[in-house]
């Protein structure tokens, strides 16, 4: 079913689910044929199995990434990780806070973000049990994550997705794709594609986000994708 959406004074007609699925599959194939293909075969965390070390790593990545190009963070993150004891435990970071901060600042000169990582480790320590804290995340992921410094309404979804919560993050790229395809939210946009194809919404998020970072004109490219053959090839692989 098509929806009429009023945006910026212009009437836009959302493409139906089949057309969205075709465009998404073409974007996915494009990524699978690129250097970024390993991102799509990465096994997502199960939130129940996330360790304190996993959580610290993903939280630190999100804190550092806000407003920064991904390529910059990816280059600096291994050195920052070593300074924070490779995220072995929050307690170890707290016990060596000054050394962790001073070391990390040599590689990333944003004192606020580096100190925020140390603060996050301290917050985990005072919760007592990481398993208890994880239960809070499972019950209220976005609200719990937003209690950490530098974690806002969008970044919270970033962390949640990366620790295994089935959400799509409403960042600027996905928000623009959702809007230009006639959807009111990223959750509805990615959820529609995920539901139609039976894909994990986190994978849909990853495909669309990476596609957007690969092309300046990603919104127009996505709308113009003609991929009936790609969709037919996908269907041919499904069991009958």
**pLDDT of residue 96 exceeding 50:** yes
Same domain? 35 vs 73: no
Q: Determine the structural domain holding residue 179 and report its residue range.
A: 4-42+168-234
**pLDDT of residue 11 exceeding 70:** no
Q: What is the pTM of this model?
A: 0.82
Closest alpha carbon to 218 in 186, 172, 168, 153:
172
**pLDDT of residue 238 exceeding 70:** no
Average pLDDT value for residue range 58-81: 95
Same domain? 55 vs 110: yes
Closest alpha carbon to 70 in 219, 215, 213:
213
For residues 104 and 225, the model is more confident at 104
Q: Which residues of 53-76 are buried (b: 16+ CB within 10 A; e: fewer)?
A: ebbbbbbbbbbbbbeeeeeebeee
CATH number at residue 137: 1.10.340.30
239 within domain boundaries: no
For residues 14 and 79, the model is more confident at 79
- From 121, 138, 162, the end of a domain falls on 162
240 within domain boundaries: no
- From 162, 188, 212, the end of a domain falls on 162
> Dihedral (C-alpha) 118, 123, 126, 130: value to the nearest 10 degrees?
-100
183 within domain boundaries: yes
What's the whole-number average pLDDT of the chain? 88
For residues 42 and 202, the model is more confident at 202
Closest alpha carbon to 162 in 28, 34, 29, 70:
70
128 within domain boundaries: yes
Same domain? 219 vs 141: no
| Token pair belonging to 156 | 């919270």
- Say what the pLDDT of residue 103 is: 98
172 within domain boundaries: yes
Q: What distance lies between CA 1 and its chain's CA centroid?
A: 29
Tokens 């924070």, residue located? 84
Count how many domains the chain has: 2
**pLDDT of residue 67 exceeding 80:** yes
Over residues 124-146, the pLDDT tens digits come to 999 888 999 999 999 999 999 99
**pLDDT of residue 17 exceeding 70:** yes
64 within domain boundaries: yes
- Say what the pLDDT of residue 233 is: 54
Phi and psi of 5, rounded to 5°? -125, 130
Same domain? 91 vs 109: yes
Report the DSSP pairing between strands 4-7 and 10-13. Answer: antiparallel
Over residues 157-211, the pLDDT tens digits come to 999 999 999 999 999 999 999 999 999 999 999 999 999 999 999 999 999 999 9
Same domain? 30 vs 128: no
Q: How confident is the model at residue 13 (pLDDT cuts 50, 70, 90)?
A: very low
Same domain? 156 vs 209: no
Answer whether 119's CB lies under 8 Å from 149's CB: yes
Find the angle CA(223)-CA(225)-CA(230) to the nearest 5 degrees.
140
Q: What percent of the chain clears pLDDT 90, i.e. is strictly above it? A: 76
Cα–Cα distance for residue pair 22/2, rounded to 1 Å? 16
Same domain? 225 vs 199: yes
Same domain? 121 vs 150: yes
- From 125, 144, 162, the end of a domain falls on 162
Cα–Cα distance for residue pair 162/147, rounded to 1 Å? 17
CB atoms within 10 A of CB 153: 10
């Amino acid at each position: 079913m098509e929806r009429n959406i009023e945006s910026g004074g212009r009437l836009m007609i959302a493409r139906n689910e089949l057309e969205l699925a075709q465009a998404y599959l073409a974007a996915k194939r494009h990524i699978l044929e690129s250097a970024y293909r390993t991102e799509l075969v990465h096994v997502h965390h199960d939130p129940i199995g996330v360790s304190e070390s996993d959580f610290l790593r993903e939280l630190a990545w999100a804190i550092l990434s806000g407003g920064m190009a991904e390529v910059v963070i990816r280059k600096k993150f291994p050195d920052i990780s070593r300074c924070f004891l490779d995220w072995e435990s929050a307690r170890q970071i707290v016990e060596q806070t000054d050394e962790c901060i001073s070391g990390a600042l040599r590689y990333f000169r944003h004192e606020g973000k580096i100190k925020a990582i140390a603060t996050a480790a301290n917050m985990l320590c005072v919760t007592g049990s990481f398993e208890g804290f994880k239960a809070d995340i499972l019950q209220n992921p976005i609200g719990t994550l937003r209690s950490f410094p530098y974690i806002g309404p969008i970044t919270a979804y970033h962390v949640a997705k990366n620790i295994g919560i089935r959400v799509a993050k409403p960042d600027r790229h996905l928000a623009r794709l959702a809007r230009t395809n006639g959807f009111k939210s990223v959750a509805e946009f990615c959820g529609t594609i995920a539901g139609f194809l039976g894909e994990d919404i986190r994978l849909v998020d990853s495909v669309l986000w990476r596609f957007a970072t690969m092309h300046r004109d990603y919104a127009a490219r996505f709308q113009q994708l003609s991929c009936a053959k790609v969709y037919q090839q996908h269907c041919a692989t499904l069991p009958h």
